[in-house]
Structure 1
Amino acid sequence: MIGSAFMFSLMGLFVKVAGRHLPSQEIVLIRSVVTLFYSYLLLRWQRVSWRGQRTGLLILRGVVGFVSLSCLYFALTRLPLADTLVLQHTSPVFTTLLAALWLKEPIGRHEIAGILLSLLGMVLVARPGFLFGTHTAGLDPLGVAAAMGAAIFSAGAYTIVRELRRTEHPLTIVFYFPLVSTIGSLPMALPTAVWPSPLDWLVVVAGVGLSAQIAQVWMTRGLAEEQAGRAVAMNYLQVVFGALWGLLFFREIPTPLSLLGMGLIFAGTGLVARVRA
């Protein structure tokens, strides 16, 4: 899980670097093509059918994942790296809410407390002007909205995956994500497409694509071998690594309010995850 957190933070770093020259949707397209290739190879290697039994729900999982990925990459081009990652890490809160609405899972008082802590943390990280005044430098509202969208749609994708696991092979579920993302990002990326330089190709293909693929594999292994509570705690290292990359490469220094908000989000989502475990 530590290795997974490190690789996911590297993916965020590479997206932020590539986003200086390339539109975020173009980065989504290239990353999706790379991961689609790897996913197809895994299907062939394991001799698993890509079709699945519930095609409609598999496509919906791909659509929701594509929207989440698009929101995340857009947010990374507009917000500090650590702030983007910590806002995106509120997805367990939204997963709990969606599971209660769709899967009819009960919510206890500890989970409600965790949700409220996380929501307060989000406010402190975002620092909206209508609450903190114009004298306090808040984050870009559009970037914050995108990061929150990434968290919400990520929660939706996870909830759908929990339903799909009853009938579908894990590799089939994984395959539909880059498949739909490739199809969805192509018409959105072409109108503003910029031909990448050799360095951009290296950053996006080797950096974003490869780091994302390695992170997914290591995360899957980590979740299978670690207790859920410890796995969630280790995954928060992604934000720590992200803060380090932001400081070293972009001179991004978190404000005291951001640090307090991050702590509340860690506590809230950790509480929700432990109860769910």
Structure 2
Amino acid sequence: MSAFAFSVMTACVKLVSTHNIPVFEIVAARAIVSLIISYIDIKRKKIPVWGNNKILLVARGAVGTFALICLYYAVTTLPLAEATLLQYIYPVFTAILAFFFLKERIQRSTLICILLCLLGLLAMVKPNLSMSGETVLPWFSVFIALIGALGSGTAYVIVKRLSKVEDSSVIIFYFPLIALPLSLILLGDNFVMPDTQALILLLFVGIFTQIGQVGLTKAMQTEVAAKVSAFSYVQVVFSAILGLLIFNEVPSIWTLLGGSLIILGALINVFGSRKKTAVQ
């Protein structure tokens, strides 16, 4: 459910961008919806709103916002399947950052994941370089997508440290709490009044984001984390289908090859880590 919800969310982001709504405005709209729902959830649990490690919570919100802006820019300028695949390179950055900041040893399965993800990235991007120097996949958009993946990896490392002292609802709450003012500042005077259709799409961005987060959280609580992580890669399939049906985006053979390598690497990382945990 969460994978499908996140896929619909990215499709809504791409659709609303066709109404000339700036990326920063889309981020702000999502933040408003998420902030309200997250606050209600915290009050329902009757836990303190502001948490314990406020500095790290704010840092998580800032890094998450940065990653989200990059993701939305990639979604609006790249085909859905490619944008989603590039985002899923984040385990590479997570592993490297966790090694330096959390002192977690990089396992053999993670090294294989890094290698396959890099090969997959090259397979996706390199063949699209034409003789004129132009690319089917814009280099700047690919770069921004990778920066977004780096931001996501950083956010995951921060969340892992925060999860030892903070309730998950508080961690989630700080994301839109920081994203809203930051996106509004960056938006500046570029606000575009959305028409009715764009307004509905903006609302859907927030709603489907929350559905995805709730579904993912519940899955993590009831299933083995490795299994949940593996199933989350179904989002790539959903994104490819929605891209084809809504935007007439047909993935190239190189995207299929590169995407397969990235997903294979990620699954090896997931189940390799799971196997090691079981042995221990």
TM value normalised by structure 1: 0.94
* Structure 1 residue 129: Cα displacement: 6.2
Contact 2:244–2:250 (8 Å) recurs in 1: yes
Which among 267, 273, 276 is matched to residue 276 of structure 1? 273
Provide the residue aligned with 2:278 in structure 1: none
Provide the residue aligned with 1:41 in structure 2: 40
SS, match of residue 188 in structure 2: helix
Contact 2:127–2:254 (8 Å) recurs in 1: no
Provide the residue aligned with 2:260 in structure 1: 263
List runs of 5+ in structure 2 lacking aligned partners: 275-280
Question: d(CA) in 2 for partners of 1:90 and 1:31?
Answer: 23
Aligned length: 273
Question: d(CA) in 1 for partners of 2:120 and 2:81?
Answer: 14
* Structure 1 residue 134: Cα displacement: 4.5
Contact 1:53–1:167 (8 Å) recurs in 2: yes
Which among 191, 201, 204 is matched to residue 202 of structure 2? 204
Which among 17, 20, 24 is matched to residue 18 of structure 2? 20
Contact 2:107–2:273 (8 Å) recurs in 1: no
* Structure 1 residue 128: Cα displacement: 6.8
Provide the residue aligned with 1:126 in structure 2: 125
Provide the residue aligned with 1:139 in structure 2: 137
Question: d(CA) in 2 for partners of 1:255 and 1:93?
Answer: 24
Within a 5 Å distance, the mapping from 1:43-122 to structure 2 comes to 43-122=42-121
TM value normalised by structure 2: 0.93
Q: Matched residues, percent identical?
A: 38
Question: d(CA) in 2 for partners of 1:8 and 1:141?
Answer: 25
* Structure 1 residue 201: Cα displacement: 0.5
Contact 1:93–1:272 (8 Å) recurs in 2: no
Provide the residue aligned with 1:252 in structure 2: 249
Contact 1:127–1:136 (8 Å) recurs in 2: no
* Structure 1 residue 9: Cα displacement: 0.2
Question: d(CA) in 1 for partners of 2:188 and 2:111?
Answer: 43
Which among 220, 223, 226 is matched to residue 226 of structure 1? 223
Question: d(CA) in 2 for partners of 1:14 and 1:30?
Answer: 12
Provide the residue aligned with 1:185 in structure 2: 183
SS, match of residue 77 in structure 2: coil
Residues 192-248 of structure 1 deviation map (CA, whole Å, 9 limit, x = unaligned): 11000011110111x101000000000111122222332122111111010001111
Runs in 1 of length 4+ with deviation above 6 angstroms? none
Question: d(CA) in 2 for partners of 1:233 and 1:168?
Answer: 26
Q: Match of 1:61, as an amino acid? A: R
* Structure 1 residue 126: Cα displacement: 2.3
Question: d(CA) in 1 for partners of 2:89 and 2:79?
Answer: 16
* Structure 1 residue 263: Cα displacement: 0.3
SS, match of residue 104 in structure 1: coil
Contact 1:128–1:138 (8 Å) recurs in 2: no
Q: Match of 2:76, as an amino acid? A: T
Contact 1:95–1:159 (8 Å) recurs in 2: yes
* Structure 1 residue 137: Cα displacement: 4.3
Provide the residue aligned with 1:31 in structure 2: 30
* Structure 1 residue 140: Cα displacement: 0.8
Question: d(CA) in 1 for partners of 2:154 and 2:99?
Answer: 12
Asked whether 1:171 is paired with 2:169, we answer yes
Q: Match of 2:218, as an amino acid? A: R
Q: Match of 2:150, as an amino acid? A: I
